[in-house]
Structure 1
Amino acid sequence: MEMTNAQRLILSNQYKMMTMLDPDNAERYRRLQTIIERGYGLQMRELEREFGQLTEETCRTVIDIMEMYHALHVSWTNLKDAAGIDERRVTFLGFDAATEARYLGYVRFMVNVEGRYSHLNLQRVLPPT
């Protein structure tokens, strides 16, 4: 992660404030502050994971997947005779936290912050953060 000295100073000050505002996580913030202040390149790469990015295209793909499951769910509930189709076949089962954590995080954001897809009852497939 490339940062100017000014950006590093600003981020270091933010971590310093966070140690005061969130004493339960103070050690973590002190560690990150030290990494930023001293510019430890290897450890600064950890920040790239915290400040990850999903491209607009990837976000749209995840939304398309969620919309597909929404359409499947609506179609299934509108069937007069759904006996031949198990509900699990049209239910979103979630993304894998080990290999698709970025997608899972985006779905959590869409559900918990944006309030979308609540009708899909995703609480059982969205493990706690």
Structure 2
Amino acid sequence: MANQNAKGLKRLINACFFSVAGFKATWQHEEAFRQEVTLFAVSAPLALWLGHTPIEKVLLIGSVVLVLLVELLNSAVEAVVDRVGFEHHELSGRAKDIGSAAVMLSLAWAAATWALILL
């Protein structure tokens, strides 16, 4: 748990370590995140090559970064729901479904961005 008394630079350093731990945990436990990182690894160089202007390049890369961000948040929601309990509960299912819908929407946004810019 975070040191609640840390201030200034020490707090920022702690936050960086916690963020790295979050990336590692998500990579280890979430196949969807690994797939989306692979998508990013392929699409980022393509965006730099296919984008004509700096804005197009940023939009192409940013749309895939958005997918990663939403997946991280979805994974956090799922971890909290699973921490509470594995028995079926309507609200737990709803929380997971909403997180999944957010990921799907971010993927659709990325696809639309790529299609509009490249076509």
> Which of 1 and 2 has greater Rg?
1
| Structure number with higher helix proportion | 2
Q: TM-score, normalised by structure 2?
A: 0.33
TM-score by length of 1: 0.31
